[in-house]
Amino acid sequence: MPIYTCTAAQGSLTSEVKALLAAEITRIHVDINHVPPAYVNVVFSELPADSVFAGGQPATPLILTGWVRRGHPQEEATRLALELSSAIVRISGMDESRTMVVLQDGPARSAVEGGRILPEPGEEKEWLRRTGAA
């Protein structure tokens, strides 16, 4: 259900680090938001060195943005963002000051996965039961 996009300058992340990040982002999301792992999407967008800036200067940040369904309790979204931040620092080895995590929310009823409108937060079990996935 969520879509995580990790943006970095080309050369910042090896294939191995990307795989480790994807696995850990998935694990954390499953743990906090209670969806099966298969529903967690993670993609990496790596951009040329002349295409990434901070403070108006060339930079090499690691930016993780995630789309999640609106309606999760704010304290859980905050905890999710903090745990994801710790994970990307730990796994990438980048200085924490260069990392950022942003969770954007949108209405579950404006999203479709596998042909079906997503469930509201808290209604996942019934939704999964009807898909035959739970």
Instruction: Provide the binding-site residues for a copy of itself, judged by CB under 8 A.
Output: 3, 7, 15, 18-19, 22-23, 25-27, 36-47, 50-59, 61, 63, 65, 67, 74, 77-78, 80-82, 84-86, 89, 96-107, 109-115, 117
Burial bucket for residue 6 (CB in 10 Å: 0-12, 13-18, 19+): buried
CB of 116 to a copy of itself, least distance (A): 9
Q: How far is the CB of 107 from a copy of itself (least distance, A)?
A: 7
87: Cβ contacts below 8 Å, ≥ 6 apart: 21, 24, 25, 28
Considering the complex, state which of residue 54 and residue 134 has its C-beta at the smaller distance from a copy of itself. Answer: 54
Residue among 95 and 126 whose Cβ is closer to a copy of itself = 95
DSSP state of 48: -
Gap between the terminal Cα atoms of the chain = 15
